[in-house]
Structure 1
Amino acid sequence: MDKYKIKISNLDYNFNSDELDFETTKELSAIDEEIIGQNRAASSLDFGMRVNKKGYNIFMAGESGTGKSTYAENMAEEKAAEMDQPKDILYVFNFSEPEIPRVMRVPAGMGNELKNDMDKIVEELQEEIPRAFEGEEYEKERKEILNEYQPKSNKLMQEFESSAKERGFLLQNTSQGLVPVPIDEDGEPISREDFQEMDEDKKEEIRNESQKIQNEISQVMREIRSIKEKAQDELSALEKKIGISIVQPIICHLKNQYEDCEEIVDYLEEVQEDIVDNIDRFRNENDKKQQNPFMAMQQDDDGSFFVRYQINIFVNNNKTEGAPVIYEKNPTYYNLFGKIEGKSQFGTITTNFTMIKSGSLHQANGGFLVVHAKDLLTSPFCWDTLKRALINQEITVENIGEQYRSVPIITLKPEAVELDLKIIMIGSPYIYYLLYNYDEEFSELFKIKADFDTEMKRNKENISKFADFISSVINRAELKEFSAEAVAEMINFSSRLTGDREKLSTKFNEIIEILFESDVWADSYDEEVVSASSVKKAIDEKEMRSNLLEEKIQEQIDRDHLLLDVSGQEVGQINGLSVYQAGNYSFGRPARITARSYLGKEGVINIEREAKMSGRIHSKGVMILTGYLGGKYAQDAPLSLTASIAFEQSYGGVDGDSATCAEVVALLSSLSATPIRQDIAITGSMNQKGVVQPIGGVNEKIEGFFKVCKSKGLTGEQGVIIPKRNLDNLMLDQEVIEAVDQGKFNLYSIEKIDQALEIMLDTEAEKIHTAVKEKLAEYAEFDTEDYDEENKTNSDNSENEDN
């Protein structure tokens, strides 16, 4: 068996601090903007940044803590610094369709200038226009117009009144308008009594004449109205002329100021036309405020008529250097896509174009938006809206759920904003493949995948970068400097995280936690420079805070509540090894596996599967075991066997195939009646041909059995069998290594199941196989006799029936 023992030289994985070319991290340079060990992801991200085509958004896939978010932000900012500064995005009043506010894009910083200038000219016009209409020149021209048209209407009315009087009628104003009233010879209106006393011919004559005059009144009033309309037109033309004389120079000055921006010039022309068309608003605004202060207050609160001349700076890029980089940490619908706000006033809710607010998608326009996939997908309406925006390359601000409001907001439909940005979405590989397989549009919108690995090679280059990374964390977090020995201990810890001595972990979050905690322990030891012992203490204490479940299980073993032998021999009973996961902490513990074999044809029964406590992988492992038995022992005769395999005192689910080797050994022990050593535990997967395959959690499993043996007393005979292909994964606790070195504990590596049989059963494998074949032949013989007896009984029954 010694030939299968693992040499102590194969267990040393500790990094020697002498290989580092510094004494403390103070001598190192920080790498804040670089990420280490992610060449594939860095190359993908760099390529994605350079492709400026539709659909080339980036999905950064990887486990949490691998530095995706930090690297994405740094890369985006680096690329954005080389790009052009995007324009400001403004919303302005649409004079032709007020419910559809217009979008304007102007050079960065010009939005603020235009807003201030528009506020100034409106204020100026509110003073200048009323003053112009109070001047002598306006009053003079106004009187001239009135003097020209008033006599015409007066003369027309006087002539008509004279004509009516000559015909015996007087024109009188009533609530129904101007009506003819008959008069007598003295020019006095005829009373009703006098009219009744007249003969019928006279009455009829007066009635007919009155009707004619009534018809003529309508004609005269139309002529007078026409004269007044002409006068009003001339007055309006006069007011417009005066308005233009005041507005045009001011607007013209602004147009000259913004002549390089055609969009602003066109807008100013519309403003000028609208102000002239609404000149009365500027003339009468002060009068309205004086006449009805309450109404003036209401107008000021909800945005008076003059709000239409304001500028809504929707996205202000005045202070943006290069392209914008927005990291949206709370991607709700409104945070991403903006909203139209409302104002409650006098029991109603109102809004206008100045209350249109931008979202991070608008703010990132022309640059980059970094967002986490999980947050985005769990926020209602966000994913579908984002896809629609990327497909159409435009985004419209619209509120959601307006139909559910008890008081609806006045509807605005702002013009859509053209969208030109790159989305960097961060998420797990699971989310990526979920979207890729079930959302047909995802692959068209996110053509670049940047895969972040959880490990990197433990070579000289990466070790140097790893040390530089530690230095950058120390500088950023203002920690104590680390000694070379402490850095070496951190390198060992990083390898331990990967479960591979040839690798370093890229789960930098967990590494940073140990750096922080080591700094605290160094303080308690009054160390000026963090030592290796402080790092070890931080690691041990972190483990202690999480290993309550491990201690409880150990306590159950110590009190013999969980039955487990670490000495002696038993038939059909073996110590397998399991890994328990408690949050971010995993540990190994032995598990008793038993096998019983007896006559029958049911084959191997997996008790866990029958009790519905077996996972799919464990069930597969038992089926592989059955395949091995058939291939090994049933080439010449059918396999006549019933056997049951169980994890004893297991009350939770069982999964994984790392117990396959243990189950085979236990079953062959039961069949051959050969006892198994209880002082050795085994872990390993196996294929149908008996080849042992590597498993996970090898360090935790070995350490778990070692702790049990230590608590019950080390004998020097105890040990663990592991697959030979797991040798590179051995990064054991120093206590275990020392125990192996001192001969108190043993480790074995195997490549085939026969080697496990020789170690565990302390017998040559061929002898075990021979004993098993004999037992199976015995079972088969009993099966044949039962079959012959059954056939004979059936034959006798048949003859009796014939008789």
Structure 2
Amino acid sequence: MEKDTRLAPSQLYRVCDTELLPFKTTENLENFSGFFGQERAIEAMEFGVGMHRPGYNLFVMGNPHTGRFSFAMDSLKSVAKKQRKPHDWVYLNNLDDSRHPISVRLPAGKAGQLRRDIKHLLESILVELPAAFENPAYQRQKLKLERNFTRLYDKAIEDVERQAREHSIALYRDSGSIGFTPVSEGQAIDEAVFSQLPEDVRDAFNQAIAYLEEVLNDSLTEMPQWRREAAEKLKQLDRDTARTAVTPLFLPLRDKYANINGVPDYLTKMETSLVKSAVDLVGEEKTLESSFESQRRSMVETEYSVNLLVDNRKTKGSPVIYEAHPSYENLFGRVEYTSEMGALVTNHRLIRPGALHQANGGYLVLESEKLLEQPFVYSALKRALKSHQIRIESPASEFGISTITLDPEPVPLKVKVILIGSRQTYYLLQELDHDFEKMFRVVVDFDEDVQRTPASIRNYARLMKTLADEEGLAPLTRAAVARLVEHSSRLAEDQDLLSAHIGELVDLLCEADFRRIRADGDYIDAGHVELALGAKERRTSRMSEKIQESILNETVLIDTEGQAVGKSNGLTVLQVGDVAFGTPARITATVHPGNRGIVDIEREVALGQPIHSKGVLILSGYLGHQYAQDFPLTLSASIALEQSYGYVDGDSASLAEICTLISALTHIPILQRYAITGSINQYGEVQAIGGVNEKIEGFFHLCQTRGLTGKQGAVIPKANVRNLMLKSEVVAAVEAGEFHIHAVATVDECLEILMDRKAGHRKEDGNYTQRSVNHKVVLRLRELAKAKA
């Protein structure tokens, strides 16, 4: 049986035949175009980009370092450059209500022109308006209006003055007021002289003055009307003058932008507003001329200038925008403020665009994990995609914090959003958000690995050539390519697959080129790749060396020779960050009469995770099915993973645990020169596990350090043979007969290796063959059942 289960060296590592690589170096290979081994993703991406109905946004899912981001960006850019440019967008001041700026869409490249034209128009107006009001013709009309008003006033005063003279009373004007005083012989009578006049004379003068005051009041009753008419005529003159100066300046723009919706209306309102505010713009103060000029220019620009929100003049095709930090403001835009005299103020010129504005009419690429980190952003993005418009709002309003700000008119939105994230994030969103599937209907699933065929190996070589060229590295020899193919299969943990983790390949190529430079080589060879792999392993081996050191100095008890009852060597993998390494762990079991069943000590102390606990529970099912068909299964047993002080998960120890339990049950010792890994089902079939290469190598290094005896080895599931891509030193030791690897399909096969005796088979009468392991198990279980009874 041992001979049948022992693996040949050729089964431990699949070598890449250099005959499959028809070149000496990658120097003359063609570049690899497209994306390696991602046919499914390419098809999904083409469908998602080509489907223009709402809701067909994309989620590109896969693990990091598989090139998913580059794939998404390159795919989108190749499609986007063939599409039409989207429109430009500007914000204009709403001259009816400045709190609600209006958005205007223009053909690509026209927004910049409109901004320049409006700026030039305003500069012309600032020159033409003052000139129009300084024109002699305007001044003459203004003086005429003033003279007409003065003439009416003077005539009324003259009529009153003539009547006053008839009564020997003089009319005088003092500081804008009008009064009357008696006169005698052409001289005004002062109060002292007036008081000495006879009473009847004084009374006559007083009555005359009272009468004249009434006449004056009656004469000037219409004066406010005259003033209003004069002011209205002056205002009309100002408007006519301003309109005469301004209207010709607007005509070229009206013709130029006649067909663009929103611009002609804005120009009309702008002209009306400028005509109304012409006098304020011209000003009457002649002091501090430069200061007033600056203030006037600032006022005009604030009121009438164009805020260029999106300019696609230089965009080639439709835009592809990647937002690395998708905060609320970075995505939806914001309204900024300036400080004036201690107060925060804003206007339409301080509206800033977000990534959605920039990507409007094209594609927006976001990383899902970063998107979900930002408060309010995911729900706001859903609202924008549902309503097909971008609203610039303050996220503080979600807290009920209201500030006086602008409420810009929403911009219509037509964009395809591409989220890039892990599978866990995709399934989480799918589970928690019912809208997610309706909005991200297209899944671009990135493959982790590719079938290892002659064609894919040649494509892999071309890919390496392309990556080396992009990174400025030296060409590779075909031996180096073959070594990288083999390493890729190890990363994929399958002899028939290649890893699609392009990021890790680039890192390895760069370090191999570094080793080439140090060795003064012309090409990256297999030796440089080996040096790079070895150096990376040394950099990350501190933890594994510490664990092995604790085993060697017997702080952790692991035997690699001899035999023991109820003890075996399990194989485990420790994952620390992105580093995984294997290490043996002692598994022990004890059995005694009772009915507690099999107790998993790890679970009892809350260190055993669910999958590990499941593996232990399966042991009871196996024992009952295999041995206790005609009597009750009654026993008390304890199983522990000794000297483990952290969480234990996975069922890969269940094969070792059942063998250890059977050893404790039958008192048949287990050979400690073997280490075991594998999970089992209730029928005793051995199932595949993960990390098989690291597990074997961990036990091998311990045996190697203690000294290989030629009898040590590892027992693995037969289903894991295809996953073997062991290090060369392990393969060499197996080839030299110094180490052995057995692949088993059943628990019985494993028992025969570990106990060096026949497991036994069930005869026609239902009993196992005499003196076999299984026969002894049945006998022992019967004894325990009787002891309990």
Instruction: Settle same-fold status: TM greater than 0.5.
Output: yes
Offset, 1:363 = 0.8
Offset, 1:511 = 0.8
CA contact (8 A) 2:99 2:405 kept: yes
Matched, 1:635 2:624: no
Matched, 1:773 2:778: yes
Aligned equivalent of 1:93: 93
Cα shift readout 1:310-331 (whole Å, capped 9, x = no counterpart): 1111111110111111111122
Matched, 1:29 2:34: no
TM, length-normalised to structure 2: 0.92
Aligned equivalent of 2:227: 228
Matched, 1:417 2:411: yes
CA contact (8 A) 2:156 2:220 kept: no
CA distance, structure 2, for counterparts of residue 638 and residue 267 of structure 1: 93
Offset, 1:51 = 1.2
CA distance, structure 2, for counterparts of residue 76 and residue 673 of structure 1: 67
CA distance, structure 2, for counterparts of residue 231 and residue 539 of structure 1: 96
Matched, 1:670 2:664: yes
Q: Using the TM superposition, name which of 691-700 and 429-438 deviates more.
A: 429-438
**Pick from 423, 428, 453: which aligns with 1:459?**
453
CA contact (8 A) 1:288 1:296 kept: no
CA distance, structure 1, for counterparts of residue 231 and residue 646 of structure 2: 95
CA contact (8 A) 1:349 1:410 kept: no
Offset, 1:111 = 1.8
Aligned equivalent of 2:361: 366
- The change in CA–CA distance for 1:619 and 1:172 in structure 2 (over 3 A counts) is farther
Aligned equivalent of 2:717: 723
CA distance, structure 2, for counterparts of residue 246 and residue 513 of structure 1: 69
Q: Using the TM superposition, name which of 628-637 and 324-333 deviates more.
A: 628-637
Query: Residue 290 of structure 1 aligns to a residue in which SS?
Result: coil
**Pick from 733, 738, 747: which aligns with 1:744?**
738
Matched, 1:569 2:537: no
Aligned equivalent of 1:128: 128
CA contact (8 A) 1:501 1:728 kept: yes
Opposite residue 439 of structure 2, the aligned amino acid is: L
Cα shift readout 1:653-706 (whole Å, capped 9, x = no counterpart): 211100101110111111111111111111110011111110001111111111
Cα shift readout 1:416-436 (whole Å, capped 9, x = no counterpart): 111111111111111111112
Offset, 1:711 = 1.4
Aligned equivalent of 1:51: 51
Matched, 1:116 2:113: no
CA contact (8 A) 1:195 1:203 kept: no
CA distance, structure 1, for counterparts of residue 654 and residue 415 of structure 2: 53
Query: Residue 415 of structure 1 aligns to a residue in which SS?
Result: coil
Aligned equivalent of 1:249: 248
Query: Tell me, which stretches of 5 or more residues in structure 2 are unaligned?
Result: 761-771
Opposite residue 478 of structure 1, the aligned amino acid is: G
Matched, 1:510 2:504: yes
Offset, 1:742 = 1.7
Give the % identical residues: 36
Aligned equivalent of 2:766: none
CA distance, structure 2, for counterparts of residue 519 and residue 555 of structure 1: 33
Q: How does 1:589-608 map to 2 (within 5 A)?
A: 589-608=583-602
Opposite residue 693 of structure 1, the aligned amino acid is: Q
Offset, 1:482 = 0.3
CA distance, structure 1, for counterparts of residue 213 and residue 431 of structure 2: 86
Cα shift readout 1:599-655 (whole Å, capped 9, x = no counterpart): 111111111111211111111111111111222333322222111111111122211
Offset, 1:151 = 2.2
Aligned equivalent of 2:472: 478
Opposite residue 609 of structure 1, the aligned amino acid is: R
- The change in CA–CA distance for 1:740 and 1:263 in structure 2 (over 3 A counts) is same
Matched, 1:610 2:588: no
CA contact (8 A) 2:551 2:557 kept: yes
Offset, 1:107 = 1.6
- The change in CA–CA distance for 1:345 and 1:148 in structure 2 (over 3 A counts) is closer
Offset, 1:401 = 4.2
CA contact (8 A) 1:182 1:206 kept: no
CA distance, structure 1, for counterparts of residue 601 and residue 164 of structure 2: 122
Opposite residue 275 of structure 1, the aligned amino acid is: L
Query: Residue 304 of structure 1 aligns to a residue in which SS?
Result: helix
Q: How does 1:508-547 map to 2 (within 5 A)?
A: 508-547=502-541
CA contact (8 A) 2:633 2:781 kept: yes
Query: Residue 111 of structure 1 aligns to a residue in which SS?
Result: helix
CA contact (8 A) 1:103 1:415 kept: yes
Aligned equivalent of 1:357: 352
Matched, 1:338 2:333: yes
Opposite residue 243 of structure 2, the aligned amino acid is: I
Give the length in aligned residue pairs. Answer: 775
CA distance, structure 2, for counterparts of residue 444 and residue 485 of structure 1: 50
**Pick from 639, 650, 666: which aligns with 1:645?**
639
CA distance, structure 2, for counterparts of residue 208 and residue 58 of structure 1: 99
Matched, 1:84 2:84: yes
Query: Tell me, which stretches of 5 or more residues in structure 1 are unaligned?
Result: 785-803
CA distance, structure 2, for counterparts of residue 495 and residue 779 of structure 1: 49
Q: How does 1:154-303 map to 2 (within 5 A)?
A: 154-159=154-159, 221-284=220-283, 288=285, 290-291=287-288, 303=298
CA distance, structure 1, for counterparts of residue 434 and residue 425 of structure 2: 14
Matched, 1:376 2:371: yes
CA contact (8 A) 2:570 2:586 kept: yes
CA contact (8 A) 1:178 1:217 kept: no
CA contact (8 A) 1:170 1:189 kept: no
Offset, 1:235 = 2.3
Aligned equivalent of 1:320: 315
Cα shift readout 1:480-505 (whole Å, capped 9, x = no counterpart): 00011101111111111011111111
- The change in CA–CA distance for 1:751 and 1:269 in structure 2 (over 3 A counts) is same
Opposite residue 145 of structure 1, the aligned amino acid is: L
Opposite residue 56 of structure 1, the aligned amino acid is: Y
CA distance, structure 2, for counterparts of residue 704 and residue 775 of structure 1: 35
CA distance, structure 1, for counterparts of residue 166 and residue 545 of structure 2: 127
Aligned equivalent of 2:548: 554
- The change in CA–CA distance for 1:670 and 1:184 in structure 2 (over 3 A counts) is same
Query: Residue 262 of structure 2 aligns to a residue in which SS?
Result: helix
Query: Residue 765 of structure 1 aligns to a residue in which SS?
Result: coil
CA contact (8 A) 1:350 1:409 kept: no
- The change in CA–CA distance for 1:236 and 1:444 in structure 2 (over 3 A counts) is same
Query: Residue 589 of structure 1 aligns to a residue in which SS?
Result: strand
- The change in CA–CA distance for 1:653 and 1:216 in structure 2 (over 3 A counts) is farther
CA distance, structure 2, for counterparts of residue 318 and residue 120 of structure 1: 20
CA distance, structure 1, for counterparts of residue 164 and residue 389 of structure 2: 73
CA distance, structure 1, for counterparts of residue 35 and residue 204 of structure 2: 111
Offset, 1:281 = 3.0
- The change in CA–CA distance for 1:403 and 1:218 in structure 2 (over 3 A counts) is farther
Matched, 1:588 2:582: yes
CA contact (8 A) 1:342 1:351 kept: yes
Matched, 1:691 2:691: no
Offset, 1:163 = 6.2
CA distance, structure 2, for counterparts of residue 17 and residue 553 of structure 1: 38
- The change in CA–CA distance for 1:631 and 1:171 in structure 2 (over 3 A counts) is farther
Query: Residue 585 of structure 2 aligns to a residue in which SS?
Result: strand
RMSD: 3.0
CA contact (8 A) 2:692 2:723 kept: yes
CA distance, structure 2, for counterparts of residue 204 and residue 306 of structure 1: 67
Query: Residue 370 of structure 1 aligns to a residue in which SS?
Result: strand
CA contact (8 A) 2:429 2:436 kept: yes
Query: Residue 539 of structure 1 aligns to a residue in which SS?
Result: helix
Aligned equivalent of 2:767: none
Offset, 1:405 = 14
- The change in CA–CA distance for 1:192 and 1:562 in structure 2 (over 3 A counts) is farther
